[in-house]
Chains A and B, each alone.
Chain A
Amino acid sequence: MDNFEQHLSNQLQNDKLHFSINPAIRERLMYHMHLKSAKSAVHKNQILPFLSMLFAPKLVAWKLGFVAILVISSMGYNHYNHNESTVQVADSTHTFISIDTLNIHFKDTLSIN
């Protein structure tokens, strides 16, 4: 940068405008930004994009794999958590009670000796 260029650059960089920005501009812009941001927040809360993503054919193998893992793990969970007890009520009656942590099943069977 030669002497003239340097001087020019200094002059321009020190140049100031005789007026300042109308503060209403900032207010209007901030209001516009808040509106946009509120709209964006509402958009984020919508469940529709999530559901459409869930049922879209995209990455279907991964989704099926994930569901399969869930099913298998829940089956194993049920298998190992059964508390079974047998109560003899009478000679000819056999009551089988299966207790599950989530569901309670009563299975009554009748056995004839």
Chain B
Amino acid sequence: MFKFKPLNYQQLADEKLIVAITNGDSSAFNELYKRYNERLLYYFYRMLWNDKEMAQDFLQDLFIKIIDKPHLFDVERKFSTWIFSIAHNMCKNEYRNRVVRDIVEKGTDTDSIPDDEETTNYSSFQIKDVFSCLNEFDEMHRTAFLLKYREGLSIEEISSILELPVGTVKSRLFYTRKKIQKKLQHKIHGNNEY
């Protein structure tokens, strides 16, 4: 006899889940939240001057956007690309607002980077230095860097998120990497292993 099997949301692709959310499926939303909340929190935290309150507010706002307007998702696109492009646009707006409010001082804002004890689990000294260097770049460079090395997205996906040509993304990543590498080399007590 035919029996209805309960839907296993864990096996569904992100794209299927967002379609289910469009139809008002709360369990699909729960699953999608589980998959992305930590990744996005990390992204917001690193993009928004390591401010954990702001990162959490942005995370909540982003998921509210998804609940309110899931139909805006283009089924032809990959979901992760879509969600990170929303996150990127939110950060971009925040940067713009900060500039307007004249809160951010021009140049490096390394004072806002917490100490090692606060940003726990640094497996080595480089991470703090990496983010210290990264704060010298604009939000486009930072986003590209995080999406590439933290999220492991392809150049094409990053180019779609940032709405930039592939070549530009490549050159920005190269430039950021080289600059960070140079700065780190100075800190590694003359050890030029990289």
Chain A residues in contact with chain B, CB under 8 A?
3-5, 7-9, 11-19, 21-22, 25-26, 28-30, 32-34, 36-41
Q: In the complex, which residue of chain A has the Cβ closest to the Cβ of B124?
A: A11
Q: Determine which of B52, B67, B120 lies in contact with A29 in the assembled complex, contact meaning CB atoms within 8 Å.
A: B67
Beta-carbon contact of B121 and A15 below 8 Å: yes
Q: Determine which of B21, B30, B52, B120 lies in contact with A16 in the assembled complex, contact meaning CB atoms within 8 Å.
A: B120
Contact of A8 with B121 at beta-carbon distance under 8 Å, contacts A26-B33, A33-B29 already known: no
Beta-carbon contact of A22 and B68 below 8 Å: no
Tell whether B177 is near chain A: CB-to-CB under 8 Å: yes
Beta-carbon contact of A33 and B123 below 8 Å: no
Beta-carbon contact of A37 and B24 below 8 Å: yes
- Taking CB atoms, residues of chain B closer than 8 Å to A30 are 26, 29-30
Q: Chain B contact residues (Cβ within 8 angstroms of A): what range? A: 35 or more
User: 6 nearest interchain CB pairs?
Assistant: A37-B24, A40-B24, A18-B120, A4-B194, A16-B121, A12-B150
Beta-carbon contact of A4 and B181 below 8 Å: yes
Chain B residues in contact with chain A, CB under 8 A?
21, 23-26, 29-30, 33, 37-38, 41-42, 45, 52, 56, 59-60, 63-64, 67-68, 118-124, 126-127, 130, 146, 149-150, 152, 177, 180-181, 193-194
- The distance from the CB of A32 to the nearest CB of chain B, in whole angstroms, is 5
Q: Determine which of A13, A21, A26, A33 lies in contact with B67 in the assembled complex, contact meaning CB atoms within 8 Å.
A: A33
19 more CB-based (< 8 A) A-B contacts, given A18-B121, A33-B67: A3-B193, A3-B194, A4-B194, A5-B149, A7-B126, A8-B130, A9-B152, A12-B149, A12-B150, A13-B152, A15-B150, A17-B120, A18-B118, A21-B38, A25-B56, A26-B33, A29-B33, A30-B30, A38-B24
How many A-B residue contacts, CB cutoff 8 Å?
90
- The distance from the CB of A44 to the nearest CB of chain B, in whole angstroms, is 8
Q: In the complex, which residue of chain B has the Cβ closest to the Cβ of A8?
A: B149
Max count, chain B CB within 10 A of own CB: residue among A7, A9, A26, A29? A29
- Taking CB atoms, residues of chain B closer than 8 Å to A3 are 193-194
**Sample of 28 A–B contacts (CB below 8 Å):** A4-B177, A8-B126, A8-B180, A9-B152, A11-B126, A11-B130, A12-B130, A13-B149, A14-B123, A15-B127, A15-B150, A16-B120, A17-B41, A17-B45, A17-B119, A18-B118, A19-B52, A26-B37, A28-B60, A30-B29, A30-B30, A32-B67, A36-B67, A36-B68, A37-B25, A39-B24, A40-B23, A41-B24
